[in-house]
Amino acid sequence: MERHLLDRKLSTKCSIRVRFSDVDAMGIVWHGNYIKYLEDGREAFGTEHGMTYVQIYHNGYLTPIVSSSMEHKSPVRYGDELEIITNLIDCKAAKIIHHYSINNLTTGKLAAVAKTMQVFTNSEGELQMYAPEFYLSWKNEAKWEDL
């Protein structure tokens, strides 16, 4: 995955157990459900680091996903326990970039790696060319790690 201008990140981990409704007839997680796991990771990230979707919304903005990519590395089955590591990669543009690792704690294997990109829009859905001031303030106060 590409390097970014500021080469720093914020990270969080969360765990989930694969639900019966997530698997196909062969007992393997259907690929479309991985997007929900990324959402689980983003929500855990927002809660841990103090930047939830509700906070963004209350500041007058939305952050739709405009890009997502994923590489599947090994199968995940019903009942497996997953650890989702979510990293926010800092960048100067008015976007939010997360990189993810989904680790299968049951098998000890890497299940998938992924990336999502979100942009800022106002409440009417108009793209914002500059990151909102509340987001910049939050970034300045965050405890970043070097990449």
**Chain segment 105-131, per-residue pLDDT in tens:** 999 999 999 999 999 999 999 999 999
* Residue numbers of the domain that contains 28: 8-124
Q: pTM above 0.85?
A: yes
In a domain, 2, yes or no: no
Note whether 125 and 79 are within 8 A (CB).
no
In a domain, 20, yes or no: yes
In a domain, 45, yes or no: yes
* Number of C-beta neighbours around residue 39 at 10 A: 14
Does 101 have pLDDT greater than 80?
Answer: yes
Which DSSP category does 107 fall into? Answer: T
Does 40 have pLDDT greater than 50?
Answer: yes
The residue written with tokens 């990189």 in the block is 99
Number of domains in the chain: 1
Q: CATH number, domain at 99?
A: 3.10.129.10
3-state class (DSSP) for residue 140: helix
Amino acid 1: pLDDT = 43
Is the backbone of residue 129 left (phi > 0), alpha (psi -120 to 50) or beta?
alpha
